[in-house]
Structure 1
């Protein structure tokens, strides 16, 4: 029996001036925000994808399709709560999640602790089980040109 399972999530969102920028369940002041069917929270989206993948349950698009109007503009924290319910329903516990955000601006250093605290409350795990890191692409590609934000997440779940 598999007592441990690993999942990986990846997501990208285009950035646009004048939009709200939501990341890790919090709003960050910036002149650009991410575009998406929901609130475009790239951190929560990669966590959802990693957890769903670890359970072999597909991805966020399968569970919360962008063709379904009930998810238009939805707070991604609601999606994460539903994914956490699936983890528990399948008798797994989250060992840890490790997120890397690729973004030129704004710098996330001063927001990471609040993101981790917010996520730990939603996920019902200790803040020490959540790692969020941010890096730039040194001016290269769509992230470097400040056209978009990308993120990766790896998670470990256990019975």
Structure 2
């Protein structure tokens, strides 16, 4: 059995008037992640985790933010494409673990829905996905809620 681990990170500013899309769901919050696509930092970190483990190019190479094709793109479709590209190389997702750090939206009330959304997109059971929310404890400029930072790790198995 061949296993590989991929690590992905992403960070986005939170801006007034943007929808707060994280983990493939919309959270009720007055600010949302800024980005060329929908700004879903959770799915962007997962894309890099999946593609890294599969030995594929990163999100910026596969879906460049200077390409109008990806303007306002739904990150759910991008993650599904990344999983598909990994599958073409014989890899499938075993599990994923995500840490979301922000002083913006509270993650805990939305964890179950986020886990279910991510599991569907990765093609795994919900119990193979974990999502944790962390505060920044006032350590950085992000502490005023102006950003969301995400780390994701994903285990892939070769078929």
Q: TM-score, normalised by structure 1?
A: 0.96
Rounded Cα–Cα distance in structure 2 between residues aligned with 1:67 and 1:135: 31
How far did 1:143 drift? 2.2
Rounded Cα–Cα distance in structure 2 between residues aligned with 1:107 and 1:60: 26
Contact in 2 for aligned 1:96/1:157 (Cα 8 Å): yes
1:87 matched residue in structure 2: 86
Could you say what the CA RMSD is over the residues aligned between the two structures, in angstroms? 1.1
Rounded Cα–Cα distance in structure 2 between residues aligned with 1:122 and 1:95: 13
Given the alignment of the two structures, is residue 125 of structure 1 paired with residue 150 of structure 2, yes or no?
no
Contact in 2 for aligned 1:136/1:143 (Cα 8 Å): no
Contact in 2 for aligned 1:21/1:33 (Cα 8 Å): yes
- Would you identify which runs of 4 or more consecutive aligned residues in structure 1 move more than 2 Å? none
How far did 1:59 drift? 0.8
In structure 1, stretches of 5+ residues that fail to align are none
Contact in 1 for aligned 2:51/2:58 (Cα 8 Å): yes
The aligned length equals 158
1:103 matched residue in structure 2: 102
1:54 matched residue in structure 2: 53
Contact in 2 for aligned 1:4/1:156 (Cα 8 Å): yes
1:19 matched residue in structure 2: 18
Rounded Cα–Cα distance in structure 2 between residues aligned with 1:77 and 1:49: 13
2:70 matched residue in structure 1: 71
Rounded Cα–Cα distance in structure 2 between residues aligned with 1:89 and 1:142: 41
Give secondary structure in 1 for the equivalent of 2:90. coil
In structure 2, stretches of 5+ residues that fail to align are none
Rounded Cα–Cα distance in structure 2 between residues aligned with 1:19 and 1:86: 30
Contact in 2 for aligned 1:102/1:143 (Cα 8 Å): no
2:145 matched residue in structure 1: 146
